[in-house]
Chain A
């Protein structure tokens, strides 16, 4: 029986998956920010979206 602080074999792939997703997410955020996606989101956010409001 594994000790309480020992990772089981089932937990190891989960740990790797989490690490992979965090890495991919961080890379995606960095890529998006460097390609000015932040400014695109900002430009949309500061204007009233008439379609979202139900006008346009």
Chain B
């Protein structure tokens, strides 16, 4: 029984890592950019990718939605970033936070770092509850609020999240570009040092806490979490099939109890709980499933013989 669960979990983990690597390669496919130290300048840069992937990454083929929100929203020509917000809302209502679990390159990095054999810290519940609200504050004030202020004042304002904090930008864009461009290397100063410090702190945290950036700081995850309750892709839990082993709770990287709330805003739909559940009580997908046992009861309560089954003798 343990062997069966172990194989399923490993198979699922390998499949998910493969999908994450494929998505990272798809969003950062311009390999020549890394060789030349320059960003891609094709038309696809006008498309918003649905993941946290810095536009200034030498390999990036699309634009980061956070950077695009700041560029479009609050600029003199556009008061509200309709195109960017519409794109994110479309991805959100279709996938919810499945994007965080399967597509985000920074999520992949956090998952890989979590595999380093190190004791995982037990964050106190009260502290965790407070920290989980921080990503919504970052979304509301640094990402959406700042462009809104610039609409009122008429002045362009700095992208504070990207400038002061975003570790994905430092890892994917800052470090490669500074390493490949002597001019940028000379200009790197205190701000660059601060960003590298933030990146190192978050990467270290990822070794001891699972998905800390997704849980506590990611504004894109905060945005998609608003759609988890009603997105097309959703999780289902069959309480009748559950045997109460709690393996799903222990395996969840986001600390969600799927039995209480299958479509919790914190759930990144990684499917680890579904892979580990041997009683098939956890389901995920696009269609409303309902309880398999309820369906079986409904089917068995239908009459075995109806009038249409009567054979008419000639």
Cβ B169 vs Cβ A29 within 8 A: no
Determine, out of B20-28, B60-68, B205-213, B272-280, the stretch whose residues face the partner at the interface. Answer: B60-68
Q: Are A37 and B72 in contact (CB under 8 A)?
A: yes
Output the nearest chain A residue to B290 by Cβ-Cβ distance. A4
B68 touches A24 (CB 8 A): no
A9 lies within 8 A of chain B by Cβ: no
Q: Which residue of A lies closest to B302 (CB)?
A: A3
Using A32-B81, A52-B55 as known contacts, say yes or no to A14 and B46 having CB atoms under 8 A apart.
no
In the assembled complex, the Cα of A52 lies from the Cα of B162 at a distance in Å of: 5
In the complex, A25 Cα to B163 Cα: how many Å?
A: 28
Q: Determine if B312 is an interface residue (Cβ-Cβ < 8 Å).
A: no
Q: When the two chains form the complex, which single residue of B55, B93, B174, B195 contacts A25, counting CB atoms closer than 8 Å?
A: B93
Contact B191 A49 (CB under 8 A): no
Interface residues of B in 27-80 (CB under 8 A from A): 39-43, 45-46, 48, 54-56, 60, 62-63, 67-68, 71-72, 75, 77-78
**B55 near A42: Cβ-Cβ < 8 Å:** no
A38 to chain B, nearest CB (A): 5
Q: Which chain A residues lie closer than 8 Å to B232 at the CB level?
A: 18
Give B contacts to A, CB under 8 Å. Answer: 39-43, 45-46, 48, 54-56, 60, 62-63, 67-68, 71-72, 75, 77-78, 81-87, 89-90, 92-93, 158-159, 162-163, 166, 169-170, 173-174, 177-178, 184, 187-189, 191-192, 194-196, 227, 230-232, 288, 290, 294-295, 297-298
A33 CA to B81 CA in the complex, in Å?
10
Q: Please determine whether B86 and A27 come into contact, CB atoms closer than 8 angstroms.
A: yes
A17 to B182, CA, bound (A): 52
Contact status of A37 and B81, CB under 8 A, knowing A3-B298, A52-B169, A53-B177: yes
Task: Tell whether, in the assembled complex, residue A55 and residue B192 are in contact, meaning their CB atoms are under 8 Å apart.
Answer: yes
Residue from B67, B82, B87, B230 within 8 A of A31 (CB atoms): B82
Partner of B90, one of A25, A31, A42, A44: A25
When C-beta atoms are compared, the residue in chain A nearest to B40 turns out to be: A46
Q: Which residues of A contact B191 (CB under 8 A)?
A: 54-56
Chain B residues within an 8 Å CB radius of A7: 288
> Are the CB atoms of B90 and A48 closer together than 8 Å?
no
**Smallest beta-carbon distance A37→chain B, Å:** 4
* Across the A-B interface, the 6 shortest Cβ-Cβ residue pairs: A32-B83, A28-B86, A42-B46, A45-B45, A32-B82, A44-B71
A46 with B39, Cβ < 8 A, contacts A33-B83, A35-B82, A52-B54 known: yes
Q: How far is the CB of B94 from chain A (nearest CB, A)?
A: 8
Q: Is the CB of A26 within 8 A of B86?
A: yes
> Can you give 29 A-B contacts (C-beta < 8 A)?
A1-B294, A25-B89, A25-B90, A28-B82, A31-B83, A36-B77, A37-B81, A40-B71, A40-B72, A40-B78, A45-B45, A45-B67, A49-B55, A51-B163, A52-B56, A52-B67, A52-B159, A52-B162, A52-B163, A52-B166, A53-B56, A53-B173, A53-B184, A54-B163, A54-B196, A55-B178, A55-B187, A56-B163, A56-B191
